[in-house]
Structure 1
Amino acid sequence: MTDRTRFPTRLKGPGALVTGGSRGLGLFIARHLAERGCTVTLAARDAAELERAAGRLRAETGATVHVAVCDVRDRAAVGEMMRVIHERDGLDIVIANAGVIQVAPVEAIGHEEFTDAMETMFHGALHTSLEALPYLRATRGRLALIGSVGGLLGVPHLLPYSCAKAAVGALAEGLHAETAAAGVSVTAVHPGLMRTGSHRQAEFGGDTSAEFGWFSAAAGAPLLSMDADRAARRIVDAVIRRRARLVLTAPAKAAQLAHGVAPGLTTRLTGLTARLLPSASGRGPLRQGSEAGLPRNPIARRIRAWGSARNDRAVREANQQEPGPRTSS
Structure 2
Amino acid sequence: MRPYPRNSAIDDDYAGESSLRLPRFLKRTRTVAKVAAAGGAAILGVAALGAAATVATAAAARRRRAERLRGKTVVITGSSRGLGLALAEEFGRQGARIVLTARDAEELYRAHQLLLDIDAVAGPQDTLVIPADLRKKEDAEELIRRVSEAWGPVDVLVNNAGVITVGPVENQSLDDFREVMESNFFTGLNCTLSALPAMLKRGSGTIVNITSIGGKVAVPHLLPYTASKFAAVGFSEGLHAEMRSKGIHVLTVCPGLMRTGSHVNALFAGNAEREYQWFSLGATTPGVAASARSAARRIVRAVLARETEIFITPQAALAGRLAQVSPAVTATAMSLVNRILPDPIEDSAGPRRGADVRKREPAVASVLGWNAARRYNEVDATAEAR
* TM-score under structure 1 length normalisation: 0.91
Letter paired with 2:331 = T
Q: Decide whether the 8 Å contact of 1:58 with 1:65 is kept in 2.
A: no
**Counterpart for residue 176 of structure 2:** 113
**Counterpart for residue 174 of structure 1:** 238
What secondary structure sits across from 1:267 in the alignment? helix
Query: Among residues 162, 165, 187, which one is paired with 2:229 in the alignment?
Result: 165
More helix by share: 2
C-alpha distance in structure 2 between counterparts of 1:9 and 1:21, whole Å: 18
Letter paired with 2:358 = G
Q: Decide whether the 8 Å contact of 1:219 with 1:308 is kept in 2.
A: no
CA deviations on 1:71-104 (whole Å, 9 max, x unpaired) are 1110111001101101211211100000001011
Q: Decide whether the 8 Å contact of 2:270 with 2:350 is kept in 1.
A: no
Mark the runs of 5 or more structure 1 residues left unpaired by the alignment. 296-300, 324-329
RMSD (Å), alpha carbons: 1.7
Higher relative contact order (CA 8 A, sep 6+): 1
**Counterpart for residue 323 of structure 2:** 259
C-alpha distance in structure 1 between counterparts of 2:236 and 2:324, whole Å: 19
What secondary structure sits across from 2:228 in the alignment? helix
Report the number of matched residues: 314
CA deviations on 1:295-324 (whole Å, 9 max, x unpaired) are 4xxxxx4xx22355322210111101149x
C-alpha distance in structure 2 between counterparts of 1:26 and 1:83, whole Å: 21
* Further displaced range: 53-62 or 27-36: 53-62
Q: Decide whether the 8 Å contact of 2:281 with 2:364 is kept in 1.
A: yes
C-alpha distance in structure 1 between counterparts of 2:101 and 2:355, whole Å: 23
What's the CA shift for 1:189? Answer: 0.4
Q: Decide whether the 8 Å contact of 1:57 with 1:65 is kept in 2.
A: no
What secondary structure sits across from 1:78 in the alignment? helix
Query: Among residues 119, 122, 141, which one is paired with 2:205 in the alignment?
Result: 141
Query: Among residues 282, 290, 296, which one is paired with 1:218 in the alignment?
Result: 282
**Counterpart for residue 145 of structure 2:** 83
Judging changes above 3 Å, is the alpha-carbon distance between structure 1 residues 4 and 30 closer, same or farther for their aligned structure 2 residues? Answer: farther
**Counterpart for residue 238 of structure 1:** 302
C-alpha distance in structure 1 between counterparts of 2:87 and 2:233, whole Å: 19
Q: Percent identity?
A: 37
Judging changes above 3 Å, is the alpha-carbon distance between structure 1 residues 9 and 186 closer, same or farther for their aligned structure 2 residues? Answer: closer
What's the CA shift for 1:136? Answer: 2.1
Q: How does 1:198-217 map to 2 (within 5 A)?
A: 198-217=262-281
Q: Decide whether the 8 Å contact of 2:100 with 2:129 is kept in 1.
A: yes
- Give runs of ≥4 in structure 1 deviating > 4 Å: none
Judging changes above 3 Å, is the alpha-carbon distance between structure 1 residues 195 and 88 closer, same or farther for their aligned structure 2 residues? Answer: same
Judging changes above 3 Å, is the alpha-carbon distance between structure 1 residues 9 and 15 closer, same or farther for their aligned structure 2 residues? Answer: closer
Mark the runs of 5 or more structure 2 residues left unpaired by the alignment. 1-60, 382-386
CA deviations on 1:173-229 (whole Å, 9 max, x unpaired) are 111111122211010000000000011110001111101110000111122110110
C-alpha distance in structure 2 between counterparts of 1:3 and 1:245, whole Å: 22
Q: Decide whether the 8 Å contact of 1:19 with 1:43 is kept in 2.
A: yes
Q: Decide whether the 8 Å contact of 2:171 with 2:350 is kept in 1.
A: no
Query: Among residues 136, 151, 159, which one is paired with 1:74 in the alignment?
Result: 136
Judging changes above 3 Å, is the alpha-carbon distance between structure 1 residues 229 and 267 closer, same or farther for their aligned structure 2 residues? Answer: same
Letter paired with 1:84 = R
Larger radius of gyration: 2
**Counterpart for residue 52 of structure 1:** 110
Letter paired with 2:229 = K
**Counterpart for residue 23 of structure 2:** none
Query: Among residues 271, 293, 311, which one is paired with 1:247 in the alignment?
Result: 311
Q: Decide whether the 8 Å contact of 2:374 with 2:380 is kept in 1.
A: no
**Counterpart for residue 37 of structure 1:** 95
Q: Decide whether the 8 Å contact of 2:236 with 2:251 is kept in 1.
A: yes
Query: Among residues 58, 63, 66, which one is paired with 1:6 in the alignment?
Result: 66
Judging changes above 3 Å, is the alpha-carbon distance between structure 1 residues 38 and 271 closer, same or farther for their aligned structure 2 residues? Answer: same
**Counterpart for residue 37 of structure 2:** none
What secondary structure sits across from 2:158 in the alignment? strand
What secondary structure sits across from 1:294 in the alignment? coil
